[in-house]
Structure 1
């Protein structure tokens, strides 16, 4: 099933619940309504903004479908922005006069002979309106460039909602003339959509909307076809897929991941004969991909994913779920006036749920990273482990798409994620936060499961682990601790100076560190604190048999970081007199 076919099918489910507009109509944002008397004179301006939040926001209203504007001038029916409706704009407005004339001419033509009081009032208003009138009451400067509706004085409904207006909209839709084609989406004979709908709400794309399907250059066309004829889609199918996608892309839509993953805005939906089962699948997926902020609820999601990873059937964990529910995930990225499909995945929901459980299991490490309250979102993981300054906008977009695809398909994690996490550690990120180590373990654990790595990675401290890189990480942690206990609070520890070099070229760094450790141990002997540290060092060196690798490949550098994390987090257990010190001698080991 293609993206457009899946969206077309989702439209029908939304339409059954009355959540989307019918063909010929579209939801648009409005903040202002002009009130007209029976003769078409403006008597008031009504503020439509939603004032329930911190600042007023325009509201969505169902209006006659918006026209697709490219470079030409084309007016909407019964509504539009102030440049078209009133001939005024906040900007320079080089085309404002032509836009207003187009709006007036179109309405004079379509409203001629109408007997409805509201339509007659609107026609009279347009025939008598002068743009200079905007500078007088009741009009306000903040109306400029906003969409405008009309209402007849003394009535609650808008003029476009009147029966006569609806009849005109339906007549225009049914009487449209276009080339008949066999629709690629439905397979039926229907009228060709020359231009596809505008998609709004994708982060980073043009605020006026962008095209998912478009042909505006000869290089994009074939066989002499013009625009939409290159991918023949019927007008009704184009309307349905555009309406369904725009519905999901609304700012607080339940089927949208709140924050883009890299540069991709992600939406998802289920196909199921049972609406409750579809909603349950969507709720679970949304919470797993973008966990709730409430720690208790996030913990419940984490427990559910853990159960899935252990092989428990989804229908036993979620009684409302229906086996065989089809699920779709779409990631869209901005590309000038168009949209790029960053990823498109479709499968049974059980498969997605199982892969999310596997991801949660692969990320597991003890102790948990700081702030881990449930199942961390992919976005959070990427921000913590790859983004400069831990800023979401600095997440590498291509990497984000690859990681998301791996999480949802169960495929091998990209090796570039492992490299990025290690690079951030070498650049000075704190390995004791646990997030980098959790990602490193996830990449290496999945590689082991898929036979790309011979050795698995321990979940928690494993003193008997045979891997040399892991033991070197442990050794580095013990040497750092010896320095910290001997010198107290200092500006830079050996971790600050040598972590990257020690993990990459152990043979050239550890002899230097071991010589320095003798001075630290000598100072500790005076206080009687050296015995357990010396035992730790000797035990690890015995496992290494003094055979230090000259260099470590990327995967082994990752195991070094895991060993370091485990040792640093576990070494003070049972030693409460030492547990309160952090790396610089301050309170709090974490």
Structure 2
């Protein structure tokens, strides 16, 4: 199903992008060097691709087909490593250059013409090692030479025209004729056939992909790429088949899904890293609007600023302001009325597993289905003080030690995505980790981090609502965005009382306290209130007596909250009740520190 969805997206991109997509005889390659040739085939420049920091980077080129290379010597046409182009002239194997010369000459001799470009290439192939070595030493310094030896791909540019040789029409025709002839030579009329698992077509065994393409840019995987489909242990194989013949897929289909997955992974607008998982997402849409909607669910603030401008009508602005639209009573269909709700969406989570990739999760659905579920997620998150819809990464950062992405516990991202995309209760493991972080951490205003900030309070509210909803508990409707003084929950009002007691302390002793009762007593008050609250109430009376300006107001507020509590404080609160305690605390603080004119 995953490979079929990727293949369909490849076909969609062919319709949308046309000539920028590689045909059957071509594939995409990441190139690090341009080798400039003059009309006599001599090297006049070797230009590395560098960024603004001087670091060598890769550029995408559509080049003559490059089958997956494992061990042994296997040259590519017009785009290859320096070892194949220069051989012993740079201290590498001569056998590689000899194999390259044999392939290139075979292709070019079938061209039937002698253009300037072909003449230059043939002259380049006839250069001996001494001539090559002299030209290279004159043109590159030691650092570039070492970079060449490290294995980056090179392409050739014809200086008189300034055009890459692999884009020359005459040379392209020669390559296409060679490729088709080579493919037909491998077929025979009575050859056995198998069904391609991606397209369902019957294909000759010779056209089945022996090795599936390498997938690059997955965080933690090998830089050279890792395979989704591979067989390296006898127990994985069956019926005497070896390698990828156990999953028969045509070479064309395999290269198509590999190309499109690598394209998505190279585009920051179609993937995001969540801890050790790389999440890839795309839509089967002929327009960009539907894809932009999906991208906006995952992009964090930094990516958003780097990759595209924001304006009031942009898709990302509408997604980020979803919580505000919800407060205004809008539904998904109101805010995103211009989208095609029948568009199919795909979300794929990939993690490294030695030389392979592991599928962490895979979700599909229409825009209408996914949109309603995401809208429900934002609706559950909506809370006073939260003015921008948080992305999944921003939610998960709240459960990480020190708010560091690398400290997000394993598997949490998959659990959170599953809950959102399938409209299920949030994982209790995520909630437990969140409560642990609240208990352990303190405010750090300089970094904009708070023990219970708006996002953490929103996550608590959403978790509680979803748990109550699945259990059909009527209390679900009582948990509101703002403070609810009538909520029939003792832990909720205990949290409100704790906020009022803290307010009385700060009002009496000033804002410059090294530690408030929240810093000293939060854990005990939220877990074992009967042991702590009598002491805190006695302490509050001292604060109220000292506070001539606000003492009476604070005392009255404490009494009002006490009226909602039973005569005896609970001895112990469960984890969910501690969450209700934290929510009551947050709501009460927002009410205390919000100007009456703003309410």
Q: Which of 544, 547, 561 is the equivalent residue of 2:565?
A: 544
1:390-440 superposed Cα distances (whole Å, 9 cap, x missing partner): 122222241011101211221221111111111100111433422211111
Report the equivalent of 1:411.
424
Aligned equivalents of 1:209 and 1:514: distance in 2? 62
Pair 1:45–1:367, CA change in 2 (3 A):
closer
Using the TM superposition, give the Cα deviation of residue 57 of structure 1 relative to its aligned residue in structure 2, in angstroms: 4.3
1:329-357 superposed Cα distances (whole Å, 9 cap, x missing partner): 22222223221222211111101111111
User: Would you say the 8 A contact 2:82–2:154 is kept in 1?
Assistant: yes
Give secondary structure in 1 for the equivalent of 2:9.
Answer: helix
Aligned equivalents of 1:99 and 1:454: distance in 2? 74
Aligned equivalents of 1:77 and 1:39: distance in 2? 19
User: Would you say the 8 A contact 1:67–1:74 is kept in 2?
Assistant: no
Aligned equivalents of 1:34 and 1:412: distance in 2? 57
Q: Are 1:195 and 2:211 counterparts?
A: yes
Q: Which of 361, 367, 392 is the equivalent residue of 2:405?
A: 392
Q: Which of 147, 161, 178 is the equivalent residue of 1:155?
A: 161
Q: Which of 222, 226, 229 is the equivalent residue of 2:238?
A: 222
Q: Which of 100, 103, 119 is the equivalent residue of 1:103?
A: 100
User: Would you say the 8 A contact 1:116–1:164 is kept in 2?
Assistant: no
Using the TM superposition, give the Cα deviation of residue 231 of structure 1 relative to its aligned residue in structure 2, in angstroms: 0.8
Aligned equivalents of 1:448 and 1:69: distance in 2? 55
Report the equivalent of 1:6.
5
Further displaced range: 123-132 or 541-550: 123-132
Q: Are 1:495 and 2:518 counterparts?
A: yes
Q: Are 1:139 and 2:140 counterparts?
A: yes
Pair 1:367–1:136, CA change in 2 (3 A):
closer
Task: Give the unaligned 5+ runs of structure 1.
Answer: 580-590
Using the TM superposition, give the Cα deviation of residue 63 of structure 1 relative to its aligned residue in structure 2, in angstroms: 0.6
Pair 1:444–1:340, CA change in 2 (3 A):
same
TM-score, normalised on structure 1? 0.86
1:178-197 superposed Cα distances (whole Å, 9 cap, x missing partner): 77421011111122111111
User: Would you say the 8 A contact 2:322–2:389 is kept in 1?
Assistant: no
Aligned equivalents of 1:172 and 1:398: distance in 2? 49
Aligned equivalents of 1:433 and 1:202: distance in 2? 32
Pair 1:317–1:516, CA change in 2 (3 A):
closer
Task: Give the unaligned 5+ runs of structure 2.
Answer: 443-449
Report the equivalent of 2:497.
475
Aligned equivalents of 2:567 and 2:178: distance in 1? 85
Q: Are 1:377 and 2:391 counterparts?
A: yes
Runs of 4+ displaced beyond 6 Å: 53-56
Give secondary structure in 2 for the equivalent of 1:260.
Answer: strand
Give secondary structure in 1 for the equivalent of 2:411.
Answer: helix
Report the equivalent of 1:362.
380
Using the TM superposition, give the Cα deviation of residue 490 of structure 1 relative to its aligned residue in structure 2, in angstroms: 2.1
Give secondary structure in 2 for the equivalent of 1:84.
Answer: helix
Report the equivalent of 2:46.
45
User: Would you say the 8 A contact 2:340–2:367 is kept in 1?
Assistant: no
User: Would you say the 8 A contact 1:197–1:242 is kept in 2?
Assistant: yes
Aligned equivalents of 1:108 and 1:155: distance in 2? 22
Q: Are 1:506 and 2:529 counterparts?
A: yes
Q: Which has the higher helix share?
A: 2
Using the TM superposition, give the Cα deviation of residue 243 of structure 1 relative to its aligned residue in structure 2, in angstroms: 1.5
Report the equivalent of 2:221.
205
Further displaced range: 445-454 or 107-116: 107-116
Alignment root-mean-square deviation, CA? 3.0
Further displaced range: 510-519 or 105-114: 105-114
User: Would you say the 8 A contact 2:322–2:378 is kept in 1?
Assistant: no
Pair 1:504–1:305, CA change in 2 (3 A):
closer
TM-score, normalised on structure 2? 0.85
Aligned equivalents of 1:181 and 1:574: distance in 2? 73
Give secondary structure in 1 for the equivalent of 2:138.
Answer: coil
Using the TM superposition, give the Cα deviation of residue 34 of structure 1 relative to its aligned residue in structure 2, in angstroms: 2.0
Aligned equivalents of 1:572 and 1:530: distance in 2? 16
Aligned equivalents of 1:54 and 1:306: distance in 2? 44
Q: Which of 310, 315, 319 is the equivalent residue of 1:301?
A: 319
Using the TM superposition, give the Cα deviation of residue 30 of structure 1 relative to its aligned residue in structure 2, in angstroms: 2.4
Aligned equivalents of 2:332 and 2:591: distance in 1? 35
Pair 1:454–1:224, CA change in 2 (3 A):
farther
Report the equivalent of 1:21.
22
